[in-house]
Amino acid sequence: MLRIIAAAAAIAVGATAVYAQNLDAIKARKESMKALSAAAKGPGGMMKGEVPFALPTIQASLKAFQEQAAKSKGLFLDNAKTGGDTEALPAIWEKKADCVGKFDKLAAAAKAAETAIKDEASFKAEFGKVMSNCGSCHKEYRKAK
């Protein structure tokens, strides 16, 4: 009887640890997505003409896109599909290579824009290419709000 109780306790502890890892991955994923959104805010205001053009802000945003894209693609773990109010759709895991590829495209577009953007005109010509990567992923892999 004592062995059964010990085994049940071990299973419960293991299940709790797996559930905590699931929530940790979802939390990290949400934080990374928020960082991507924050990185887009300043340049987005510049594109709309609401904020004056500032190349240092653009460069910092493009670095953040590269860093967060690299980080984000590793946060869609098989044990982190549900829970924690995730907005991730099951399609991510059904088409994981495509999803990861979209993060790679975002990072590559941000890297290319980092080199190409020198002034406001080049910013307006290039920044939309970076942002289009966000929209393509959201349409297919994120719950509609």
CB atoms within 10 A of CB 119: 9
Q: Which of 62, 45, 38, 51 is nearest to 118 (CA)?
A: 62
Inter-residue contact 53 to 120 (CB < 8 Å): yes
Give per-residue pLDDT as tens, 102-130. Answer: 999 999 999 999 999 999 999 999 999 99
Banded model confidence at residue 84, pLDDT cuts 50, 70, 90 = confident
Inter-residue contact 63 to 96 (CB < 8 Å): no
Give the CATH number, domain containing residue 21.
Answer: 1.20.120.10
Confidence (pLDDT) at 86: 87
How many domains does the structure of the chain reveal? 1
State which residues form the domain around 56: 2-141
Helix (H, G, I), strand (E, B) or coil at 88: strand
Helix (H, G, I), strand (E, B) or coil at 142: strand
Helix (H, G, I), strand (E, B) or coil at 144: coil
DSSP 89: -
DSSP 143: -
DSSP 81: S
Q: Any alpha helices (H) in the chain, and if so which ranges? A: 2-48, 55-72, 91-94, 96-116, 120-141
Report, as an integer, the average pLDDT of 64-84: 91
**E strand or H helix at 141:** helix 120-141
Give per-residue pLDDT as tens, 3-30. Answer: 655 444 444 444 344 444 457 889 999 9
pTM, whole model, 2 decimals?
A: 0.80
Please report where in the chains the tokens 């709000």 appear, as a residue: 145
Confidence (pLDDT) at 135: 86
